């Protein structure tokens, strides 16, 4: 299938027209309107420094349904010990900056300065959210993503202390489950999230679930007062 070149109009081709790698389109910009339109159509941006702006909708899609969250015995014991204080939307800039830093086995990052600015804007508009795992007041792990309807689109996570990002993710999923969220989009496979219950589904199934999730209102604004769990 051809890869579509985007124009100034905020329009995307249908996700099922992606090529075999999941690439849907190239070009456009990272304006809030275009980003939100992409997510609503099951499409997300992912590209490296110096590359053109690329838009993706992989098949199959890696997702987690909140009711399928799996917490191992060791992780559950760690959470019971209140090893981490989990906060929401308390320091989005610090989380996205940490997610963009090189780490062992990853010398480069796809979180370019333009991406950081775009998601900071979405955060200010109440659509992008962060989860922070803290020890001694310091952020030692966390994640960020975008929320629309009853779907959370996970973008990136980081950890500086063993199990910190898992603790943040578990608390996020549990809080979202309490709010009747239907879907956590993990985008592409990682063993880290597979261990927590994420699994592959067909793109068509993902799009059907996404439409149902988007039929609900979006929980915009700062999630801190709603979700914070301070040990």
Q: Could you give the 3-state DSSP secondary structure of residue 74?
A: helix
pLDDT number for residue 97: 96
Q: Is the dihedral of CA 213, 216, 219, 220 positive or negative?
A: positive
Confidence class of residue 209 from pLDDT cuts 50, 70 and 90?
A: very high
Q: Which residue has the higher pLDDT, 204 or 224?
A: 204
Q: Distance between CA atoms of 226 and 140, rounded to whole angstroms?
A: 22
Confidence class of residue 104 from pLDDT cuts 50, 70 and 90?
A: low
Q: Distance between CA atoms of 133 and 146, rounded to whole angstroms?
A: 18
**Domains identified in the chain and CATH numbers:** 4-58 (3.30.70.3550), 62-227 (3.40.630.70)
Q: Are 64 and 197 in contact (CB under 8 A)?
A: yes
pLDDT number for residue 230: 45
Q: Could you give the 3-state DSSP secondary structure of residue 63?
A: strand
What is the DSSP-derived secondary structure letter of residue 53? P
pLDDT number for residue 107: 47
Q: Distance between CA atoms of 170 and 174, rounded to whole angstroms?
A: 6
Does 25 have pLDDT greater than 50? Answer: yes
Enter the pTM of the model: 0.94
Q: Are 85 and 231 in contact (CB under 8 A)?
A: yes
Q: What is the mean pLDDT of residues 189-210?
A: 97
Number of H helices, E strands in the chain: 8, 11
Q: What is the mean pLDDT of residues 153-182?
A: 96
């Amino acid at each position: 299938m051809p890869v579509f070149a985007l124009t100034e109009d905020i329009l995307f081709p249908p996700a099922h027209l992606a090529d075999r790698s999941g690439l849907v389109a190239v070009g456009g910009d990272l304006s809030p309107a275009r980003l939100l339109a992409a997510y609503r159509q099951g499409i997300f941006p992912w590209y490296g420094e110096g590359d053109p702006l690329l838009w993706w909708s992989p098949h199959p899609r890696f997702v987690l349904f909140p009711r399928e969250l799996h917490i191992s015995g060791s992780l559950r014991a760690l959470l019971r010990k209140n090893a981490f204080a989990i906060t929401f939307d308390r320091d989005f800039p610090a989380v996205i900056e940490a997610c963009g830093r090189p780490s062992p086995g990853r010398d480069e990052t796809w979180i370019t300065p333009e991406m950081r600015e775009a998601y900071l804007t979405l955060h200010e508009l109440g659509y992008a959210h962060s989860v922070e795992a803290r020890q001694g007041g310091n952020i030692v792990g966390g994640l960020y993503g975008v929320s629309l309807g009853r779907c959370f689109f996970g973008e990136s996570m980081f950890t500086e202390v063993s199990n910190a990002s898992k603790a943040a993710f578990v608390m996020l999923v549990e809080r979202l489950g309490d709010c009747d969220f239907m879907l956590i989009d993990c985008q592409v496979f990682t063993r880290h999230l597979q261990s927590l219950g994420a699994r592959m589904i067909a793109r068509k199934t993902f799009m059907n679930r996404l439409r149902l999730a988007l039929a609900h209102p979006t929980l915009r604004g700062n999630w801190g007062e709603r979700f914070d769990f301070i040990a």
